[in-house]
Amino acid sequence: MNSQFSKKGLMIALSAGAFALAAPLTLAANVVNIDARSNCGTNPTAANPVEVSLNAGKWLLTPTNPSIDPEANFTAWSAWGDNRSFNAVRFSSMNGVGTLGTGDVFPDAQSAFDAQGNLPVELELTAPDTVKLYSYDNYCSDNSGGISIRIEKIPPLLAAGINLTATVNGNGVDLTLTTSAEPDTALLSILRSEKLENGGTKIKVVCEFHSGGSPYTCTDTVVGDTYRVLETEYDGDIIVYDEVTPK
């Protein structure tokens, strides 16, 4: 039977291979404050950086200030302890060292903040990582102010146009899965469900496919009660789609 899923799917978090409920792999938006004096140096090791542990996935690092976020402490920072201000902050991740901000000197903190236009930097992590943020300076004791950054998870884009065909063929089932797009999909799995006498449901992975090869085909050696698609995103999120009854 062909089943063109009308729902986006149910997003749940599962531990790998066990299908047991686990803690979500996403974080809510957080504001981090990088003090230009205490979180300062020329490299992430020596700078006493602010460290933020992030899971795999795509993240936005957006400049903010106390007028935008109550959690923010800073608008900009000065390397001289006067009104002259910077809007730049450095961050280190598995991808190397990057800079958020322009790096120019401005007459005051608000001018420095306005010049960067509240523009975010997108950071993509292929595995959990500790991101380190700091002010770049080789003499920090006369600095003042700092930079506040809002860190937000970018929700993954789900696969589109998922269609599963489950056709009984003798003592087995021929399975065909097609998609029209898989922007953030790491793995697609087809699950067999069997109803148990005690009211439970036994679930088994029949076949798995790495993203990028639609259409996907495999054959189950037995006939299950139902089949469904499980999509695993690069950030660890798992989406379970509607059931299909073999015909």
pLDDT per position in the chain (247 positions), as tens?
333 332 233 333 322 222 222 222 334 458 999 999 999 999 998 889 999 999 888 899 999 999 999 999 999 999 998 999 999 999 999 999 999 988 899 999 999 999 986 578 999 898 899 999 999 999 999 999 999 999 998 888 888 999 999 999 999 999 999 999 998 899 999 999 999 999 899 999 999 999 998 999 999 999 999 999 999 988 888 999 999 999 9
Distance CA 91, CA 53 (A): 13
Distance CA 102, CA 240 (A): 43
* Contact residues for 96 (Cβ-Cβ < 8 A; gap 6+): none
> How much is the pLDDT for 193?
95
> Which CATH number is associated with domain 2-23+157-240?
2.60.40
* Fold category of 36-154 in CATH: Jelly Rolls (2.60.120)
**Domain boundaries defined on the chain:** 2-23+157-240, 36-154
- The reported pTM is 0.66
Strands (E), the chain: 2-4, 10-12, 30-35, 40-41, 50-54, 57-64, 77-78, 89-93, 96-100, 121-125, 129-136, 144-154, 163-169, 172-178, 185-195, 201-210, 216-220, 226-233, 238-240
Residue 73, number of CB atoms within 10 A of its CB: 16
* Contact residues for 198 (Cβ-Cβ < 8 A; gap 6+): none
Do residues 241 and 231 touch, judged by C-beta distance below 8 A? yes
- Structure-block tokens of residue 108: 């005051």
